[in-house]
Amino acid sequence: MRVFHCDKYLVPLPVGHRFPIGKYRMLREILERDGLVRSTDLRESQPIEIESLLLVHTPAYVGSLVHGTLSDADQRRLGFPWSAELVLRSRSSAGGTLAAAFAALEDGAAGNLAGGTHHAFADHGEGYCTFNDHAIAIRTLQNEGRIRRAAVIDLDVHQGNGTAAIFAGDPDVFTFSMHGAKNFPFRKQRSSLDVELADGCG
């Protein structure tokens, strides 16, 4: 099974920043160490094309990231300070999901170790999510006639609010999110189906 990763891209973050950017490299190393992924299965993901980003995200938002004009308020909402490295890594993460989607159509299964950016909306990022890789992959496959319908099964503890908003009202994309009821995002979007879980259940 082909598994894509982009942990070679280092994003400069302030000392004490709460996002554990090193987790992607650690995940790859653990999977290799434990024999769950062979080195021959691993592929370095490539930065996704700007045209693919624009299938989901607004030109103004993409432009603010590419040209480094993202406002201070939008950087706070995103959770990351802007940097060229952040944009490159985010494009590569989305590129990995798109490559994995094409690989899954060919092989039946594939993976991306750095995807899942479900808090990114069409016109802004939030919750450490810059570009919505799920939505970009689905829209690209639809645009190329490779698929007609899709389902997003999101089992993160946080609701996939960006994904829900992007596909709201789209009968060809079913969004399912099972998440904690009382955590971020505190203003939830409406997925096709939401299952909210109480604290401490499971």
What is the 3-state secondary structure of 11-30?
A: CCCCCCCCCCCCHHHHHHHH
Q: Per the residue annotation, which of 5, 118, 119, 179 is the catalytic one?
A: 119
Question: Among positive and negative, which fits the CA dihedral 111, 115, 119, 122?
Answer: negative
**Cis status, amide bond into 20, omega within 30 of 0:** no
CB contact at 8 A, 20 and 70: no
Helix and strand numbers, DSSP H then E, in the chain: 7, 6
Q: What is the reported pLDDT for 169?
A: 95
CA-closest candidate to residue 9, choices 69, 67, 73, 90: 90
pTM equals 0.94
Q: What is the reported pLDDT for 103?
A: 98
Catalytic site residue 118? no
Q: Which tokens is 81 given? A: 């300070």
Question: Vertex 189, ends 184 and 192: CA angle to 5°?
Answer: 125
**To which residue do tokens 């999977």 refer?**
31
* Per-residue pLDDT tens digits of the chain, which is 202 residues long: 999 998 777 788 888 899 988 888 999 999 999 999 999 999 999 999 999 999 999 999 999 999 999 999 999 999 999 999 999 999 999 999 999 999 999 999 999 999 999 999 999 999 999 999 999 999 999 999 999 999 999 999 999 999 999 999 999 999 999 999 998 998 999 999 999 999 888 6
Q: What is the CATH number assigned to the segment(s) 2-148?
A: 3.40.800.20
Question: Vertex 97, ends 202 and 103: CA angle to 5°?
Answer: 110
Q: What is the reported pLDDT for 21?
A: 86
Strand partners, 150: 173
**To which residue do tokens 């490559």 refer?**
99
Distances (CA, A) of 135 to 20, 92, 138, 189: 24, 15, 5, 15
What residue ranges do the domains of the chain occupy?
Answer: 2-148, 149-202
